[in-house]
Amino acid sequence: MIGIVDYGMGNLGSVTNACRFLNLPCTVVTAPSEVSGCRALILPGVGAFGDCMKHIRSHDLEPVIQDWIAADRPFLGICVGLQVLFAGSEESPGVPGLGIFSGMVHKFPGGDGLKIPQIGWNRVTWKKTGHPVMEGIPDGSHFYFVHSYYVDCADSAWVAATTEFGITYTCAVTRGNLFAVQFHPEKSQKVGLALLQNFATRAAGSEVRV
């Protein structure tokens, strides 16, 4: 079972619909007690970094997410669900993130006619080869993005993919069974569904820890 974390905001509908389209068993998780028995967690996210962290904390989900990742259980972060894994964001000064990765979230500098937020399809360049979540997805595939802020990962070892938008920035990170992306796989048609299927396949082979 894949648990889709509902912390009061996020693109739950589109992520849930994508999982159901792929016939992936999933459930919406609204409280810490509901993660029991899940093989994997998806943290979707839309909106502001600070609001996201406020809702995560108000739902007592911060330690659940941190413990889940520390135990190296399958985890997929999407959009702001990637950004909150870092120390903090320029979007919400003084609001700490989950601190899974070192580094900060910055606003795009813009310029050269670029409109912020970035909305639409963009090319993704894989920086790691052979990762199960990327299997069968060609390098240079286009995914759908909607965001004004990007992550600056302090350790290049965790960078799984980059994208160009005025600058070259990290659009995916991975560590063990964690994979998190800035783009929206649930809105990225064939390649996005392939990524979700790959994540679910990897999760299916994981041990359930209650």
Q: Is 210 a member of any domain?
A: no
Q: What is the pLDDT of residues 124-160, one digit of tens each?
A: 999 987 889 999 999 999 999 999 999 999 899 999 9
> Is the residue at 143 inside a domain?
yes
CATH code at 134?
3.40.50.880
Rounded to two decimals, the pTM is 0.93
Q: Would 57 be classed as within a structural domain?
A: yes
Residue 31, domain member (yes or no): yes
Q: Is 55 a catalytic residue?
A: no
Q: Is 186 a catalytic residue?
A: yes
Catalytic residue among 19, 147, 153, 186: 186
Q: Look at residue 11 and tell me if it is in a domain.
A: yes
Q: Out of 79, 147, 153, 171, pick the active-site residue.
A: 79
**Do the domain assignments include residue 180?**
yes
- Host H or E run for residue 195: helix 189-204
In a domain, 209, yes or no: no
Dist CA 180 CA 159 (whole Å): 10
Query: Domain range spanning residue 119?
Result: 2-204
User: Which residue among 19, 26, 38, 184 is the active-site one?
Assistant: 184
pLDDT tens digits, 37-87: 899 999 998 789 999 999 999 999 999 999 999 999 999 999 999 999 999
Domain total of the chain: 1
Q: Is 79 designated active site? A: yes
